[in-house]
Chains A and B, each alone.
Chain A
Amino acid sequence: MTRAAEVRFENVTKRYGGTAKAVNDVSFTIPAGTLCTLLGPSGCGKTTTLRMIAGLEYPTEGRVLIGGKDVSALPPAERDVSMVFQSYALFPHMNVLENVGYGLTVSRQPKAKVREAARAALDSVGLSGFEERLPSELSGGQQQRVAVARALVLEPSVLLFDEPLSNLDARLRRRMREEIRDLQQRLGVTVAYVTHDQAEALAISDKIIVMNQAVIAQEGTPRDLYEAPANAFVAGFVGEANRLPATLSHRQGDMAQVTIGSATLSLPHRGAAEGAVQLAVRPEAVELLDVADPATTLRGTVAKAAYLGGLMEYTLTTEAGDVFVIDSHTQRQRGVGEVVGLGLGQRGIAVLPA
Chain B
Amino acid sequence: MRSAGLWSSALALAAALLLPWYMVQDGILVLSFSNGGWLTDPDGAPALGLILTDGRWWLWPAVLAPVLGLVAALVPLPRPTRSWLFLLAGGVGLALLAAQGWSIGPRGWMILWLQGQFGETEARQYGIGWGGTVVSAALCVLFAAGFAGRGAFRGDAFTATVAVVLTIAIGVFTALPILQMMAGAFRDAGGAFAPTSAVTRLVDDRLWSLGCLAGAPRCGVVWNTLLLALLTATGTTALGLAFALLVTRGRLRLARPLRWLTVLPIVTPPFILGLGLILIFGRSGLLSQAASAWFGIELGRWIYGLPGLLLAQLFAFTPIAFLVLIGVVEGLSPTLEEASQTLRADEKITFRTVTLPLLLPGLANAFLLGFVESIADFGNAVVLGGSFNVLATEIFFAVVGAQADAGRAASLSLILLVLTLVVFFLQQRATGKKSYVSISGKGDAGLPPPLPKGVRRLCLAVAGTWAALTIGLYALAFLGGFVEVWGRDYTPTLRHFVKAFSIEGGQFTGLAWNSVLTTLELAAISAPITAALGILAAWLFSRTRFAGKGALEFATLLSFAVPGTVIGVAYLAAFNLPPLELAGTGAIIVACFVFRNLPVGLRSGMAAMAQIDGSLDEASHTLGGGGMDAFRRVVLPLLRPAIVAGLTYSFVRAMTTVSAVIFLVTAETELATVFIVNRIINGDYGLAISTSLVLIVLMLVVLGVMNLLVGSRRIGRRAVAVTAASPAPLPGAVA
Query: Residues on A close to B: CB < 8 A?
Result: 54-56, 58, 73-79, 81-83, 85-93, 102-103, 105-107, 134-138, 143, 150-151, 154, 160, 167
Contacts and interface: CB of A to CB of B under 8 A. Distances in A.
Contacts of B667: none
Given A75-B155, A93-B638, A55 B623 contact: no
29 contacts: A56-B618, A58-B151, A75-B156, A76-B154, A76-B621, A76-B622, A77-B622, A77-B626, A77-B629, A87-B441, A88-B442, A90-B443, A90-B619, A91-B619, A91-B620, A91-B633, A92-B638, A93-B637, A93-B715, A103-B623, A103-B624, A105-B633, A106-B626, A106-B633, A135-B443, A136-B718, A143-B443, A150-B623, A154-B623
A106 B617 CA distance: 13
A92 B440 CA distance: 8
Contacts of A138: 443
Contacts of A87: 440-442, 613, 615
A75 B621 contact: yes
A86 B613 CA distance: 12
A106 B620 contact: yes
B444 interface: yes
Contacts of B440: 87
Interface string B711-732: 0011111100000000000000
A179 to B, nearest CB: 19
Contact of B613 (A54, A81, A82, A89): A89
A83 B622 contact: yes
Nearest to B440: A87
4 shortest interchain CB distances as A-B pairs:
A136-B443, A89-B441, A135-B443, A134-B716
A83 B619 contact: yes
B151 A73 contact: yes
A76 B618 contact: yes
Contacts of A105: 633
Given A92-B715, A134-B715, 8 more contacts: A75-B626, A76-B618, A77-B625, A87-B442, A90-B441, A91-B620, A102-B625, A103-B624
B39 interface: no
Contacts of B155: 73-75, 78
Given A73-B151, A75-B154, A75-B155, A90 B442 contact: yes
B694 interface: no
Contacts of A83: 618-619, 622
Contacts of B621: 54-56, 75-77
Contacts of A81: 622
Contacts of A167: 442
A48 B444 CA distance: 26
Given A55-B621, A106-B623, A136 B715 contact: yes
Interface string B684-725: 000000000000000000000000000001111110000000
B151 A102 contact: no
Contacts of B623: 82, 102-103, 106, 150-151, 154
Interface string B614-651: 01101111111110010001100110000000000000
Nearest to A138: B443
Nearest to A89: B441
A92 B441 contact: yes
A1 to B, nearest CB: 16
A160 B439 CA distance: 23
Contacts of A73: 151, 155
Residues of B in contact with A, size category? 20 to 34
Given A87-B440, A87-B441, A106 B154 contact: no
B74 interface: no
B445 interface: yes
A51 to B, nearest CB: 8
A73 B149 CA distance: 9
Nearest to A54: B622
Contacts of A106: 620, 623-626, 629, 633
Interface in B17-44: none
A81 B154 CA distance: 16
B441 A85 contact: yes
B716 A136 contact: yes
Contacts of B443: 90, 92, 134-138, 143
Contacts of B713: 93
Nearest to B444: A136
Nearest to B150: A73
A81 B618 CA distance: 12
A151 to B, nearest CB: 8
A93 B619 CA distance: 14
Given A136-B443, A137-B716, A85 B615 contact: yes
Contacts of B439: 92
A62 to B, nearest CB: 15
Contacts of B634: 91
A91 B156 CA distance: 21
B633 A55 contact: no
Contacts of A103: 623-625
A92 B714 CA distance: 8
Interface in B427-469: 439-445
A138 to B, nearest CB: 7
A74 B621 CA distance: 12
Contacts of A154: 623-624
A106 B443 CA distance: 22
Nearest to A105: B633
Nearest to B442: A87
Interface string B408-441: 0000000000000000000000000000000111
A92 B619 CA distance: 12
Contacts of B444: 136
A83 B445 CA distance: 25
B618 A89 contact: yes
A136 B445 contact: yes
A102 B442 contact: no
A179 B618 CA distance: 24
Nearest to B621: A76
Contacts of A136: 443-445, 715-718
Contacts of A92: 439, 441, 443, 638, 715-716
B622 A82 contact: yes
Contacts of B717: 136
B717 to A, nearest CB: 7
Contacts of B620: 91, 102, 106
A84 B91 CA distance: 40
Interface string B252-289: 00000000000000000000000000000000000000
A83 B616 CA distance: 11
A162 B19 CA distance: 53
A77 B634 CA distance: 15
Contacts of B616: 89, 91
Nearest to B156: A75
Nearest to B716: A134
Nearest to B619: A89
A74 B626 CA distance: 12
Which of A74, A77, A91, A102 has the most chain B CB within a 10 Å cutoff?
A77
Contacts of B625: 77, 102-103, 106
Contacts of B718: 136
Contacts of A160: 622
A83 to B, nearest CB: 4
B626 A93 contact: no
A82 B715 CA distance: 24
Contacts of A75: 154-156, 621, 626
Given A106-B624, A106-B629, A88 B715 contact: no
Contacts of B613: 87, 89
A312 B616 CA distance: 46
Contacts of B441: 85, 87-92
Contacts of A137: 443, 716
B166 to A, nearest CB: 20
A56 B623 CA distance: 12
